[in-house]
Amino acid sequence: MTLISRQEIKTLLEQPRQNSVSIYMPTQLAGPEVRQNSIRFKNLIKEAEARLIDAGLGQDDAIELLAKSHQLDDSNFWEQNVDQGLAVFISKDVFRYYTLPLTFDELVVVTDRFHIKPLLPILNGDGRFYLLALSQKDVRFFEGTHYSIKEIEVENMPKSLDEALNYDETAQEGQFRIATSGGGTANSFVQPGSFHGQGSPDRDQHQKDILQFFHAVNNTLQEKLRDQTAPLLLAGVEYLMPLYKQANTYQHLMEEGITGNQEILSAQELHERAWPIVEPHYHKSQQEVVERFNELFGANTGKASNELKEIIPAAYYQRIDSLLVATNQEQWGLFDPTSETVYLHQEEETGDEDLLDFAAAHTLLNGGTVYAVEAEQVPFSTPVAAIFRY
C-alpha cells in the first residue's frame, strides 16, 4: 500500500473523467467485531452498485466495474491489514485502497471523479516532512506524514563517507586509509567520531572529509527536493549537525533535529521522535492562514471569501492560494463552467457532487494549499474559507 501524500491524491484526481466510486468506512482492529468489516464493506459495494445504476450504468456493467473489490474478500485481509479506516477507489482503470489511521464515517460517492476530502486531514498543510538520518556509515532519507514514514531511495546519493570519498576499508574495523587528491593513499588512520586533540591535523582533515561528504549528499537531495516546500529534519549525532548545515542549500531545513545515534533507530522510532518537532510547524502554518484570511476579509480587499458561490469558480480557474474546508460536512450541488453558475441543493440529487470536495480537489490540482479541519476551525464556522491569489 502506498503512503498517502499530496502527489498520491493528485494522481487519483488526475484520472480520466469516468464513473468513479469512492468508498470510506471505519474498521474494527481486533476482537469478534473484525468479522463485521467484510459484511460492512459488501453492503457499501451494493450501495455503490445501486448508485451506478441510478447514474445510468447497466446492472451488468456496474457489477463488472465493481468486481475489482473482490480482491478484499479474503478474510486474511480484514484480520491482518486493517487500520482505523479504509478508503477504496474504483473506476474502469483504477483500483486502489488505503488502510489509514483515520476514523471515517461510512460514505459512498459515485461521480465522474474520485472524492478525496475525507483523506485531507492526513495532509494538513501538505502534511509531509522529510527526514535525513546522518551517519558516516549509513545515510538514510525518509518521507513522512503525521501518521507514517517510509524510506526513499535517492538516485546517486552516497550512503557513506567511504563511498563519497573513495575510502578503502582496512582490516581494522572503523579505520580508513584516506585517498589523497593525487590518487595516492595517506597512511594515517582516522577513527570516525574520535580525534587526537582540538585543532589536530587529523581532526581538521576528518571534518573536511565529512563536510565534503555532506556536500555530495546535499547536491543529490537538491535535485530530489527541487520546488518542494516540506520541512527537512536532520537526525544524527550532535557534532554532525552543524557540518551538514554548512553544506545544506535546501531552504526549508529545520533548526531543531533529532540528536543521537540514528543507526540504532528504526524508521518507526525516528518517526516517533520527528513528529513532535514537525507538528508545531504545521499548526503555525494553519494559524497563519487563518490570521491572513481574517485580515484580508475584514479589510474588504476582495482577496478572501467564505461564499461557496465565489469559491467554486475561483478553485476551478486556479485563483485559490489557500483553502480551509470542513471535513465533517458536505454541500451537494453542481458547477457549470460555461456560465460559471453554482447550483446548491439541500439534499444530494443524481449527478451531484460535494462542492466542498470540488473546491479542495481543484485547489490541490492547481498548486494551492488545503487545510481540512473541523467546521469550528474555519473562520466564522462556515464550511469553507479561501484566500485568492488575485
Report DSSP letters for 300-361, one per residue.
Answer: T-SSEE--HHHHHHHHHTT-EEEEEEETT---EEEEETTTTEEEE-SS--TT-EEHHHHHHH
Q: Which amino acid is at 99?
A: T
The secondary structure of residue 81, as a DSSP letter, is S
Q: Comparing C-alpha atoms, which of 183, 182, 178 is closest to residue 164?
A: 178
- Is the model's pLDDT at 28 over the cut of 60? yes
Q: Comparing C-alpha atoms, which of 62, 72, 73 is closest to residue 95?
A: 72
Residues comprising the chain, all counted: 390
Q: Comparing C-alpha atoms, which of 48, 4, 60 is closest to residue 23?
A: 48
Contacts of 56 by beta carbon, 8 Å cutoff, 6+ apart:
none
- Is the model's pLDDT at 128 over the cut of 90? no
Indicate the burial class of 254 (C-beta count within 10 angstroms; 0-12, 13-18, 19 or more).
middle
Q: Comparing C-alpha atoms, which of 246, 180, 194 is closest to residue 217?
A: 246
Rg of the chain over all Cα atoms, to the nearest angstrom: 26
Contacts of 154 by beta carbon, 8 Å cutoff, 6+ apart:
141, 220, 221, 224
Q: How far apart are the first and last CA of the chain?
A: 39
Q: Tell me the whole-structure pTM to 2 decimals.
A: 0.67
Cell of 230: 516540506
- Is the model's pLDDT at 272 over the cut of 60? yes
Q: Comparing C-alpha atoms, which of 54, 55, 49 is closest to residue 69?
A: 49
Return the SS3 of 363. Answer: helix
Total Cβ atoms within 10 A of residue 52:
21
pLDDT band for 124, please (50, 70, 90 cuts): low
Name the CA dihedral angle for 324, 329, 331, 335, rounded to a multiple of 10 degrees. 40
Contacts of 366 by beta carbon, 8 Å cutoff, 6+ apart:
315, 318, 320
CA angle (64, 68, 72) in 5-degree steps: 140
- Give the pLDDT of residue 197: 43
Out of 120-134, 210-224, 329-343, least confident range: 120-134
Task: Summarize pLDDT for 166-187 with one digit per residue, the tens.
Answer: 754 443 333 433 333 333 333 3
pLDDT band for 75, please (50, 70, 90 cuts): low
β-strand partners of 234: 132
| H helix runs in the chain, sequence order | 6-13, 34-54, 59-66, 75-80, 161-165, 201-224, 240-247, 267-298, 308-316, 355-365
- Cα separation of 226 and 322, whole Å? 21
* Of residues 267 and 36, more confidently modeled: 267
- Give the pLDDT of residue 181: 34
Cell of 195: 580525534
The secondary structure of residue 82, as a DSSP letter, is -
- Give the pLDDT of residue 68: 93
- Give the pLDDT of residue 351: 87
Name the CA dihedral angle for 157, 2, 271, 131, rounded to a multiple of 10 degrees. 30
